[in-house]
């Protein structure tokens, strides 16, 4: 009944009380400043994880996207669903970029049901296509946390013990419609060592707090779109492996790309094995990657061989995940007042205005907060050190 008026009053409900944010910063030290706490958390994230931790590099991740009625809420632009799917596309790309030997699958839940959008697979293309298509779907009914976790669990429980089994839930609704006691399911998930993390889009829900605490995942609630993105990016980095996970050697194939030139008369166009499960047009191609074990042909990497089940990757892929093992050391933080020297950031050349500045311990160059985060999250190497390396 209130569907129509809601749309009409868009201009009314939409205004943001930006002055509230300002006020909290100014007020005395007793007044809480959530922003400040958040900033500390941000820093902490960068500084932690530098010990010798074993990381679960081989990940099987199911992302559960809530597509219930509440996803139509317009507090993210243009609405929660579109915004989420857009960020998810970015996430999938980033995920495969940083975790080349991992797999992802997508589940949606609406109308008390859970549905697999894509199965676990190591190639981003299919996922991206599915995500693009999902934008047009309607959001109806309540989500079911139980059903969607169950769907994910059915697949994940067959995964080998040395992989990191994870579920990431993007949960917009504040209610869930479950067919059975979810606490039993949480116990099972815990026994199967499946880590469940939740990103809430509206507020803290008790059952998610328990779910994440019991299974060792993280639970965050977004403040706005940029915070959402930040939280999502946290899940790009491989989580520390639990000490009980097995170690084992994994067979992998590094196929060479064979380029058959058009001039070569012997070359015959052939199908790629990956067309088997793709609904798209099976194109005939000349060259490709050939599985070193069974000689099946693939046009893209990384992929799991359909014939012999060997994981096929390229060496550069594997190298990309290298930085997780040898991360860039945290920069030293000094308050701005104590810092003496030129007041501009080495990276962005902007003026240093924040409360504190960050110094690289190796090259003694100074950076601002934003650049510090960028260097640690994205670049993974200090531009200052690179420069000195080159010049010397």
Name which of 378, 356, 379, 377 is nearest 367 in CA terms: 356
CB of 63 to other proteins, least distance (A): 19
Nearer to other proteins by Cβ, of 210 and 260: the residue is 210
Helix, strand, coil % in the chain, rounded to nearest 5: 35, 20, 45
**What residues numbered 220-279 form the site for other proteins, per CB under 8 A?**
220-223
Of the CA atoms within 13 Å of residue 191, those in its CB half-sphere come to 6
CB-nearer residue toward other proteins: 95 or 146 = 146
C-alpha distances in angstroms, 33 versus 20, 26, 315, 364, 379? Answer: 11, 9, 47, 32, 30
DSSP-derived pairing of the beta strands 366-367 and 356-359: antiparallel
Smaller CB separation from other proteins, 65 or 198: 198
Q: How far is the CB of 175 from other proteins (least distance, A)?
A: 5
Q: Using CB under 8 A, which of 22, 38, 319, 361 touches other proteins?
A: 38
3 forms part of the interface with other proteins (CB under 8 A): no
Contacts of other proteins in 186-215 (CB under 8 A):
200, 202-209
Determine the interface stretch with other proteins among 69-77, 82-90, 350-358, 379-387 (rule: CB under 8 A): 69-77
Q: How far apart are CA 325 and CA 179, in angstroms?
A: 42
Q: How far is 75 from 193, CA to CA, in rounded Å?
A: 35
For residues 364 and 368, give the distance between their C-alpha atoms in angstroms, rounded to a whole number.
13
Q: Considering the complex, what minimum distance in angstroms separates the CB of residue 174 from other proteins?
A: 5
Q: Is 87 in the site for other proteins (CB under 8 A)?
A: no
Q: Which of 380, 48, 42 has its CA nearest to residue 239?
A: 48
Binding other proteins by CB under 8 A: which of 53, 55, 177, 308?
177
Q: Give the residue among 354, 325, 133 at the shortest CA–CA distance from 241.
A: 325
Backbone phi, psi, residue 74, to 5°: -100, 25
Q: How far, in whole angstroms, is CA 183 from its chain's centroid?
A: 26
178 contacts other proteins (rule: CB under 8 A): yes
Smallest distance, other proteins to C-beta of residue 36, A: 9
Query: In Å, how far are 255, 303, 312 from 207, measured between CA atoms?
Result: 46, 36, 39
* Contact pick of 47, 138, 154, 181 for other proteins (by CB under 8 A): 181
Question: Are 255 and 301 spatial neighbours (Cβ–Cβ below 8 Å)?
Answer: yes
> Residues 6 or more apart from 351 whose CB is under 8 A from it?
343, 344, 345
Contact segment (CB under 8 A) with other proteins among 174-182, 331-339, 341-349, 354-362 equals 174-182
For residue 34, state whether it binds other proteins (rule: CB under 8 A): yes
Q: How far is the CB of 110 from other proteins (least distance, A)?
A: 13
Question: Measured from the CB of residue 1, what is the shortest distance to other proteins in angstroms?
Answer: 7
Residue number with CB closer to other proteins (3 or 342) = 3
Is there binding between residue 10 and other proteins (CB under 8 A)? no
Helix (H) / strand (E) element for 285: namely strand 284-285
Q: Is 79 in the site for other proteins (CB under 8 A)?
A: no
The piece of 50-58, 67-75, 259-267, 335-343 that touches other proteins (CB under 8 A) is: 67-75
Residue 41 contacts other proteins per CB under 8 A: yes
When the beta carbons of 173 and 274 are compared against other proteins, the nearer one is 173
Nearer to other proteins, 16 or 337 (CB): 16
Point out which residues bind other proteins (CB under 8 A). Answer: 1-2, 9, 12-13, 15-17, 20, 29-34, 37-38, 40-41, 69-70, 75, 142, 145, 174-178, 181-183, 200, 202-209, 220-223
């Amino acid at each position: 009944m209130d569907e129509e008026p809601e749309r009409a009053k868009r201009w009314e409900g939409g205004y943001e009380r930006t002055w509230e944010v300002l006020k909290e910063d100014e007020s005395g030290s007793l007044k809480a400043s959530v922003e400040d706490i958040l900033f500390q958390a941000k820093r902490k994230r960068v500084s932690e994880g530098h010990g010798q931790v074993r990381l679960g590099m081989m990940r099987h991740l199911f992302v559960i996207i809530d597509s219930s009625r509440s996803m139509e809420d317009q507090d993210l632009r243009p609405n929660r669903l579109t915004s989420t799917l857009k960020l998810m596309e970015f996430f999938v790309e980033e995920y495969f970029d940083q975790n080349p030997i991992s797999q992802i699958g997508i589940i949606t839940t609406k109308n008390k049901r859970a549905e697999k959008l894509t199965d676990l697979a190591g190639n981003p293309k299919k996922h991206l296509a599915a995500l693009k298509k999902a934008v047009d779907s309607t959001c109806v009914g309540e989500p079911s946390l139980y059903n969607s976790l169950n769907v994910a669990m059915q697949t994940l429980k067959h995964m080998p013990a040395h992989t990191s089994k994870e579920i990431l839930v993007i949960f917009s609704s504040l209610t869930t419609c479950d067919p059975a006691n979810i606490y039993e399911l949480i116990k099972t998930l815990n026994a199967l060592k499946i880590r469940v993390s939740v990103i809430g889009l509206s507020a803290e829900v008790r059952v998610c707090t328990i779910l994440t605490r019991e299974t060792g995942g993280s639970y965050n609630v977004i403040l706005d779109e940029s915070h959402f993105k930040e939280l999502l990016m946290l899940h790009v980095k491989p989580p520390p492996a639990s000490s009980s996970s097995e170690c084992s050697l994994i067979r992998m194939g590094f196929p060479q790309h064979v380029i058959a030139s058009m001039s070569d008369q012997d070359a015959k166009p052939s199908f790629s094995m990956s067309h088997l499960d793709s609904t798209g047009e099976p194109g005939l191609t000349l060259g490709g990657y050939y599985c070193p074990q069974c000689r099946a042909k693939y046009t893209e990497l990384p992929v799991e061989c359909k014939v012999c089940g060997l994981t096929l990757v390229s060496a550069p892929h594997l190298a990309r995940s290298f930085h997780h093992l040898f991360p860039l050391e945290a920069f030293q933080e000094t308050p701005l007042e104590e810092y003496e020297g030129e007041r501009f950031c080495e990276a962005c050349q902007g003026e240093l205005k924040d409360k504190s500045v960050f110094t690289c311990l190796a090259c003694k160059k100074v950076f601002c907060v934003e650049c510090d985060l960028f260097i640690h999250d994205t670049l993974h190497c200090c531009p200052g050190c690179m420069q000195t390396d080159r010049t010397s």
